[in-house]
Amino acid sequence: MNQLPHTLPAVVAAPATRGDAFAFVGERLWLDFVNSEAAEPGTDALEDFDTLVEWLQRAGVVDADRAQGILRRAQQQPAGAAAALTDGRRVRAALRALAEHGAGGATTRAEAVAEINRILGRSAGTRRLEVRADGAFVRSFVPGGDAFAGLMIPLVESAADALILGELARVRRCASPRCRRVFYDGTKNGARRWCDMATCGNRAKAARHRARRKR
Ligand SMILES: [Zn+2]
């Protein structure tokens, strides 16, 4: 691991129970990214750039070394980091529209395709093959120009996969009216209703139980 100035936030040591923006219940990366907007008041991973990088690391989009490199660059280039955060919010809004209305809306799909291509069209860096100290070979990605330009690429690639594979009809919003989470329904009979049985599903069950007892 790289030596770091001690002023950097401890990305790697983030507790496992951060706000529900870190729940990863969407079954697809792009849907998890939509859900990085907190379902209920809590942590929004796009509240600041550092939280976005932490989210990307927890989602497995960047590894710990790259996350720390990005945070270092963000300290050197705060304006670039702020622009990347704004860009992330824009991408997330487009992906939410695709998740919620894409299956039935040709216009929504076309707008999402334009947004996906806006991100994919960037020349964000180069891929390299490198030899590690132990002799093993690893693929790496060297960001070029704007250090932050490539951050959204894996997320929009995931959305592109959903379009290519025809998955939109199985993308649902949680049945709880208080919950904004979206997910891919991978059940055999297409009957998944809740983002998470442990939270929304359980609350619905408890509410039904209370209603029965009142009668
Ligand atoms: Zn829910």
CATH number at residue 81: 1.10.3300.10
Q: Render pLDDT for 97-148 as a digit per residue (tens, 0 to 9).
A: 999 999 999 999 999 999 999 998 886 677 788 888 899 898 776 666 667 8
Whether 7 is in a domain gets the answer no
Whether 191 is in a domain gets the answer yes
Whether 28 is in a domain gets the answer yes
CB-based neighbours (< 5 A) of ligand 1, an ion: 174, 176, 179, 181, 195, 200
Whether 4 is in a domain gets the answer no
| Number of structural domains found in the chain | 1
Mean of all residue pLDDT scores within the chain: 85
Who contacts 101 (Cβ-Cβ below 8 Å, separation ≥6)? Answer: 108
CA of 67 to the centre of ligand 1 (A): 29
CA of 92 to the centre of ligand 1 (A): 18
CA of 77 to the centre of ligand 1 (A): 37
Residue 40's domain spans which residues? 20-214
Alpha-carbon distance 129 to 135, whole Å?
Answer: 12
Whether 153 is in a domain gets the answer yes
Q: Render pLDDT for 158-193 as a digit per residue (tens, 0 to 9).
A: 999 999 999 999 999 999 988 899 999 999 999 999
Whether 11 is in a domain gets the answer no
Whether 136 is in a domain gets the answer yes
Whether 68 is in a domain gets the answer yes
Q: Render pLDDT for 69-81 as a digit per residue (tens, 0 to 9).
A: 999 999 999 999 9
pTM of this structure: 0.80
